[in-house]
Amino acid sequence: MKNIALITTLFLSTRIFSAIEILDRIAVIVDDGVVMESQIKAGLDEIIARYDQQNIPKPSIDDLKEQVIESLIIEELQLQLANRAGVRISDAELNSSIIRIAQNNQMELQQFISFIEDSGDSYEEFRENVRKQMIIQRIQRGRVQSEITITEKEFDAFLATDESLIELEPQLLLRQI
């Protein structure tokens, strides 16, 4: 009897002092992935800040939230598609892209990293966002290139134009003659 009372007391005392803390919640389930509430809040904050910086009247918060959710869903679907297709961005590619971004802003890499961190953002998050954008660009290029089809009728119509004669004319180099 003493053992049961002791176990019950210990169990109840640990439940009294433990508090539940919610870190994040799933807002939308997208195929094999999820969109978290924190992602929606961050996207909404970013859009509102852009509207405020440009002194543009902003639409209703509900409309902005809907736009953010839609763009996050599209981004998640594209990333899943890229993952299934095996699209990867190497660290070397990512580093060279970030160096190019820094150079476009007339900064050295260390200056650029300091600028990002001084503005209150995380360099690691910036790096991951650049990686995501590169993956999405790569998958979009692949999808567009695979969906371009030219019918035989379009090809024949091109051959009938003067432009096709110029494009298809043999080009001779003086050295070849």
Phi, psi (5° rounding) for residue 35? -115, 125
> pLDDT tier at 45 (50, 70, 90 boundaries)?
very high
Q: How far apart are CA 118 and CA 126, in angstroms?
A: 13
Q: Name the 3-class secondary structure at 15.
A: helix
For the chain, the structural domain boundaries read 25-86, 89-145
pLDDT digits (tens, 9 = 90+) for 92-105: 999 999 999 999 99
> In sequence order, which ranges of 18-173 are alpha helices (DSSP H)?
37-53, 61-85, 91-104, 109-118, 123-147, 152-159, 162-168
Q: How far apart are CA 86 and CA 20, in angstroms?
A: 39
- Contact criterion met (CB below 8 Å) for 28 and 69: yes
Q: How far apart are CA 135 and CA 76, in angstroms?
A: 11
Q: How far apart are CA 43 and CA 127, in angstroms?
A: 17
Residues β-bridged to residue 33 = 30
Neighbouring residues of 81: CB distance < 8 A, sequence distance ≥ 6: 139, 143
What pLDDT score was predicted for residue 78?
93
What pLDDT score was predicted for residue 32?
86
Overall pTM > 0.85 = no
> pLDDT tier at 174 (50, 70, 90 boundaries)?
low
Q: Do domains 25-86 and 89-145 have the same CATH topology?
A: yes
Cα 83-77-29 angle, rounded to 5 deg = 115
What pLDDT score was predicted for residue 124?
94
Q: How far apart are CA 11 and CA 13, in angstroms?
A: 6
Q: How far apart are CA 143 and CA 14, in angstroms?
A: 55
* 19-23, 31-35, 37-41, 141-145: range with lowest mean pLDDT: 141-145
* 43-52, 127-136, 151-160: range with lowest mean pLDDT: 151-160
Please give the CATH topology (third level) of the domain spanning 89-145. Triger factor/SurA peptide-binding fold (1.10.4030)
pLDDT at 13 over 70: no
Q: Which of 131, 128, 143 is nearest to 85 (CA)?
A: 143
Query: What is the domain class of 25-86 according to CATH?
Result: mainly alpha
